[in-house]
Structure 1
Amino acid sequence: MNFEEKLGKKLKYLVFYPKNIDTNKKFNVVFFMHGYGDSMNGISGVIEYLSKDNVYVFLNAPFELNFGGIQTGYYWCQFPLENFNEFAVSQNYINESIKEFLEDASFKIKKIFLGGFSQGGIMTLHNNYRGKINGLFIFGSRMYQELENEIVIDKNTKIFLSHGTNDEVYNIEEGRKIKNFIETKNLILDYHEFNIGHQIIPDQVFELNKWIEQI
């Protein structure tokens, strides 16, 4: 795959560019965040099923989690959410990394998407980026209800939400709470449930591809 690893001012990220990218054409930029204990390298495996017509930026969380030996994972904030400083740092680093990548892009930008899986989905829902985002996508995640009042999503931002009915980490009811919250805000939502656990499967990604293409 055509990946390029970059060390940003705040975060590392792995970038996928379409083959033979034409800098005179416009491309969607899709920022994708991994879950707790994973990394940009782990989540980037989803590229196998993503449309190859977009630019994908797989962000790496700032905090290191040592599993012992040579295995290292990363996280956006610890559970339960007691250290709000970590959460705020991650929010800021995500914002700065989005801004940095878009400003440095050598191609024309069509639309911008931000999303993630599990904890990456939490950071998506609770993002406070103030630049334009055309769409948010969330896989197998939950909402921090204690921070619900701080969630601000522009009325023109579309949302894709997908959750497994057998999710053993975040029960399907967590996904439905997000769905209900979004609907109370009268935001445009594309919601899908799949008979799976805490994972992302090809069919979910194919639905995401269609959603991005339609926006």
Structure 2
Amino acid sequence: MSSTSQYNYAKGDTMLLHYLVREPKIQTENPPLLLLLHGVGSNEKDLFSRADQFPDEFLVISARAPFTISENHYRWFAVDFSSGRPIINAEEAEKSRTVLIQFINQLKEKHSFNSNAIYLGGFSQGAIMSFSVGLTQPQKLKGIIALSGRILTEIKPIIASKEKLKKLNALIIHGTKDTTLPIEYGRQSKSIVDKLGIPNTYVEFNYAHTVTPETIQTINEWLAKH
């Protein structure tokens, strides 16, 4: 049996993000870590609802974004689609990127896992943040999992060198019927990671802006190879 828990802040605690934990079903001394990031308007419970579908040997953690939209609704950064293209609050996006980097360091102090086997993945804005952290701090991760996301233009000046990036792996999944972040964003992401020399797997599914059992199966097959 696996165990799940909600992290509760203790008095004087300095953890930067609220999060949920699924302990590994198969206990090992240093399990790999799968850190999940939700999309805009959601919360840490969203992807965590699928926690028990991920590989038994993984420690699974799902984090809540730092900016509040309303009760139970959070964002990694504000975004405006009124122009037909996503216009972001770059300051909030950068703040979330730096918070996530610090949060990963904090998790190392709170939980036992293999720091050389950290996979950062998310949906939509969570995928965007996974790219933003992984492409700028690749030494912290073994892999990126990007579901229906894109790579922000704003991070391009701070992307790490190809030498550092070649040790990173990426899984990019996008729906051909996605009307929120159309398939072109997935294809652009694939092109960018190819040019950066990052080993990657790119998969298109015939669905919209969503996560399906097919998505989870593809993630698990990819994780098993790495």
2:103 aligned with 1:104, yes or no? no
Picking from 192, 200, 204, the partner of 1:189 is: 200
Conserved 8 A contact 1:161-1:190: yes
Q: Does 1:54 align with 2:58?
A: yes
Q: State whether residues 178 and 207 of structure 2, in contact with CA within 8 Å, keep that contact through their aligned partners in structure 1.
A: yes
Residue 158, structure 1, aligned to residue 169, structure 2: yes
Structure with the larger strand share: 1
Contact 1:29-1:110 within 8 A present in 2 as well: no
Distance 1:183 1:158 in 2: 11
User: What TM-score results when the alignment is normalised by the length of structure 2?
Assistant: 0.85
- Aligned: 1:43 with 2:47: yes
Q: Percent identity?
A: 26
Aligned length: 209
Mapped partners of 1:170, 1:75: distance in 2: 16
Specify which of 92, 96, 115 is matched with residue 90 of structure 1. Answer: 96
Contact 2:31 2:112 in 1 (8 A): no
Q: 1:151 Cα shift?
A: 2.8
Question: Residues 136 and 158 of structure 1 are in contact (CA less than 8 Å); yes or no, is this contact kept in structure 2?
Answer: yes
Q: TM-score, normalised by structure 1?
A: 0.89
- Asked if structure 1 preserves the Cα contact closer than 8 Å seen for 2:138 and 2:168, the reply is no
Q: Secondary structure at the match of 2:109?
A: helix
Quick one: which amino acid aligns to residue 2 of structure 1? S
Seen in structure 2, the aligned counterparts of structure 1 residues 144 and 9 have a Cα distance that, compared at 3 Å, is same
Q: Where do 5+ consecutive residues of structure 2 fail to align?
A: 81-86
The match for 1:141 among 146, 149, 152 is 149
Contact 2:190/2:202 (<8 A) preserved? yes
- Please show how residues 195-214 of structure 1 align to structure 2 within 5 Å: 195-214=206-225
Give how far 1:204 is off: 1.4
Secondary structure in 2 aligned to 1:26?
Answer: coil
> Residue deviations 1:161-211, cap 9 Å, x none?
000010121100110000011111121011100011101111111111121
**Please, which of 170, 175, 182 is the counterpart of residue 186 of structure 2?**
175
Structure 1 stretch 119-128 or stretch 6-15: which is displaced more?
A: 6-15
Equivalent position amino acid for 1:77 in 2: F
- Which range moved further: 41-50 or 90-99? 41-50
